[in-house]
Amino acid sequence: MTAKDPVSTLPSDVHPDDALAYIQDRGVGALADRMGIEFTEFTRERAVATMPVEGNTQPIMLMHGGAYVVLGETLGSMHANLVAPEGTVAVGVDINATHTGSARTGRVTGTCVPIKLGRSIAVHEITIDNEDGQRCSTVRITNFYKQVSK
């Protein structure tokens, strides 16, 4: 697998302490790029990323609920692949979000932590806060670990 392989988990030659640099080099996908998502932490324990409000709003200038979901899915799926069992790739099978606040300006920060890391599924919770530290959304994603075809 090469560093640009879109379905690879962290290559065996990349130390987990270098995971943030690896994904920053590899990229996290066209949609995440378009949304302005930037990873700031990526470890086996958690993943953190930010996203600008500007450009990701609904007509009344609040952050769009779907934007929160994109941030949550990006964090949860990337983390599930970081910790994926050897020979598997994580694919999302369920996601839900509860919006409890809003952001109008600045950046929001998503913090992703695993709830369950199993042999066949991973469940993550992502909390998304505005710059004032107010929670705007809580996202939960379940990923299934699918065997990679040789």
Active site residue 86: no
Beta strands in 8-103 (DSSP E): 38-42, 47-52, 88-99
Residues 109/50, Cβ–Cβ less than 8 Å: yes
Instruction: State how far Cα 37 lies from the chain centre.
Output: 9
Options 73, 86, 125, 131, the catalytic residue: 73
Separation of alpha carbons 87 and 89, rounded Å: 7
CA angle (61, 131, 98) in 5-degree steps? 65
Report how far apart, in Å, the C-alpha atoms of 84 and of each of 76, 90, 94, 109 are: 12, 7, 17, 24
Q: Which residues are catalytic?
A: 73
